[in-house]
Structure 1
Amino acid sequence: MPQRRVVTGRSHEPRARFAEELRLLRAGKGVSLRELAEELGWDASTLGKMESGRSLGSPEIVEALDQYYGTPGMLLALWELAVGDPTQFVEKYRAYMELEANAVSLWHYASANLPGLLQTPGYAREFLTAGGLDGDELAVQVEARMGRRELLTEEDAPRFRTIISEAVLRTPTRDPAEWQEQLEHLRHMSERKNVTVQVVPLSVGLHALTNTDAWFLRAADGRTVAWVETGFTAELIEKNGEVERLQLRYDLVRDLALSPDESREFIRRVWEEAQCEPST
């Protein structure tokens, strides 16, 4: 069997590395995909997609494979690297993901949905499903989004400010319990020292970012870039003049927002209203 490379975050293309290791282990065991599927109780087509790199599978499948091959934790470590690998995302998002991971501070405005860094699994699953994902790929993307949340809770976490339109808080998930969990998580995160949450009431009317989600990411060298999203497109903005103009618009919206304390109280009231909603 060929010598395996060391498991590391610097391994070339973690997703391809994970698929390769799966193929090597099965070849070394001398079993077919069908035999492996029968042994583990998982579908052979799912295992085949994982070995070809078309799917990453779920952590449950990977843990079962670790146990079967006698590689405790190794495959799961590779899987986690692959889930966090920016090469699995559409090319235009790669630069943004790398900038987000290394930013020393982040500012954000949400016009329609909560930022991924503050989403619960239930909210993320419904949001991504609405975008057309399902099956293994949906599970992978939810896991990846949950992995991104650690950015705000790890040691030396960056400063993060999000300004949220009231419309976001008035658009619940279909499951009332999941929506209540999401609102509670948002309140909890707003109490962290490195996280600031502000709400823009609908009563302020139209403003400079009414239909635009915007991110500002500041790197360790002081350079700031912006990421702008609308319903069907996204753009990374790096030119200083354009970033500054967008920051001015952000500051104008910030002037209209409730204070952090007022916003926390606003979220609490929405949470209480959700508690009173009858289950369907």
Structure 2
Amino acid sequence: MVSSLLRFVRPDEIQIALTVGSLEVAACLQPLVNTRLVTSRVFQPTEIDASSDPWRYLGSRIRAARSARDMSMQALATAVHVSKGFISQIEHAARHPEEQLVKAMDSVLKADGELNTAYRLAVRWTEDNEAGGNKYADYFDAVLELEVDAVRIDWFGGGLFPGLLQTPEYATEISRRPFRSTSEVQSLVDGRMERASILDGGAGPKLLVILDEAALRRPVGGPEVMAGQLLHTARLIREGRIVVQVLPFDAGAHPLLAGQLIIMRFADAPPVAYVEAPHAGQLIQDQSTLDDCALSYDLARAAALSPEASLERIESAAKEYST
């Protein structure tokens, strides 16, 4: 399979060095081992460095083609049968489009194949990075952009509480590590607390969590920190703001043992999944792999305790840490 290494000189010029590599297409998690009425949020135009990666470059070419034809984002969305919000996500590189959609946009915008070429280069660049085992340092950035638009988030947190549920004390403990300064830790914790604010009020996503029992039993930060984390989670459950199901140890093996899984659903755009392992993460948009992810999540949820029994276990664990 052809892969490529791209060096972007400026937004309208690309230098390409082609190499030969390989990419093994993997199912959900393997790379790393309802609808409700809402107001669609379109990404606000910000300064975007189109030279920073080829997906941003593709977005800049779409915007330029729209501008050249004096076509609004909504008009393009209507012409290619997707939502305005989805076009905005593509233009800002929060989502990667399928090839057929790019071909349709290229045709509607009369871009003479420019968008198709930019898309192929982006795909090859991504293949090269994945085949070489390289991931971006900001691999979670796309999730941060997307989760605020999601109408529903299905989250399997593995052996930790999901970031949206963490207390400042718990987040501080898991952020500490050798060679990381106190200010860096505090910055990470502040960012996590800001993210959690999407659960405030009634406009945020519906959050459904499968929590491995290991997260309840691992004494992160000691008894006081754990009791606070468990009671915070229980409070959110009792307030009806989240649904949590504990996956007990005696459930044995389950489909999500390999790592973390997040599935985000949107009112006006296709769903997306995110899988993560230490120091690496990957967004999944391919429909067949998304189906695999959804099935794995559903099977794990089927093996979990009921929400009522889960709340009882969480509060029981909190009492154990408090005594």
TM-score by length of 2: 0.57
Q: Please name the residue that 1:207 is paired with.
A: 254
Output the CA distance in 2 between the equivalents of 1:270 and 1:123: 16
- For residue 231 of structure 1, report the CA deviation from its aligned partner: 2.8
Change in 2 beyond 3 A, CA 1:112/1:177: same
C-alpha deviations, 1:56-94, integer Å up to 9, x for none? xxxxxxxxxxxxxxxxxxxxxxxxxxxxxx9xx943222
Q: Where do 1:120-159 residues align within 5 Å?
A: 120-130=167-177, 133-159=180-206
- 1:249 and 2:296 aligned: yes
Change in 2 beyond 3 A, CA 1:131/1:261: farther
Q: Where do 1:148-227 residues align within 5 Å?
A: 148-227=195-274
Q: SS at 2:322's partner residue?
A: helix
Output the CA distance in 2 between the equivalents of 1:133 and 1:243: 35
8 Å contact from structure 1 (residues 118, 186) kept in 2: yes
Q: Please name the residue that 1:272 is paired with.
A: 319
Output the CA distance in 1 between the equivalents of 2:249 and 2:278: 20
Q: Please name the residue that 2:146 is paired with.
A: 99
Q: Which has the higher helix share?
A: 1
- For residue 11 of structure 1, report the CA deviation from its aligned partner: 8.1
8 Å contact from structure 1 (residues 109, 163) kept in 2: yes
- The amino acid across from 1:193 in the alignment is G
Give unmatched runs, 5+ long, in structure 1: 1-8, 14-85
Q: Please name the residue that 2:282 is paired with.
A: 235
CA RMSD in angstroms comes to 2.2
**Percent identity for Structure 1 against Structure 2:** 32
- The amino acid across from 2:141 in the alignment is R
- For residue 175 of structure 1, report the CA deviation from its aligned partner: 3.1
Q: Please name the residue that 1:40 is paired with.
A: none
TM-score by length of 1: 0.65
Q: SS at 1:198's partner residue?
A: strand
8 Å contact from structure 2 (residues 157, 260) kept in 1: yes
Q: SS at 1:113's partner residue?
A: coil
8 Å contact from structure 2 (residues 148, 205) kept in 1: no
- The amino acid across from 1:197 in the alignment is V
- For residue 131 of structure 1, report the CA deviation from its aligned partner: 7.7
Change in 2 beyond 3 A, CA 1:130/1:199: farther
Q: Where do 1:81-100 residues align within 5 Å?
A: 90-100=137-147
Q: Please name the residue that 1:112 is paired with.
A: 159
Q: SS at 1:92's partner residue?
A: coil
Change in 2 beyond 3 A, CA 1:174/1:92: closer
Output the CA distance in 2 between the equivalents of 1:256 and 1:109: 13
- The amino acid across from 1:92 in the alignment is Y
- For residue 98 of structure 1, report the CA deviation from its aligned partner: 0.7
- The amino acid across from 1:246 in the alignment is C
Output the CA distance in 2 between the equivalents of 1:127 and 1:11: 34
Change in 2 beyond 3 A, CA 1:105/1:93: same
8 Å contact from structure 1 (residues 173, 179) kept in 2: yes
8 Å contact from structure 2 (residues 170, 221) kept in 1: no
Output the CA distance in 1 between the equivalents of 2:266 and 2:178: 30
Q: Where do 1:49-60 residues align within 5 Å?
A: none
Q: SS at 2:264's partner residue?
A: strand
8 Å contact from structure 1 (residues 158, 194) kept in 2: no
Output the CA distance in 1 between the equivalents of 2:274 and 2:137: 15
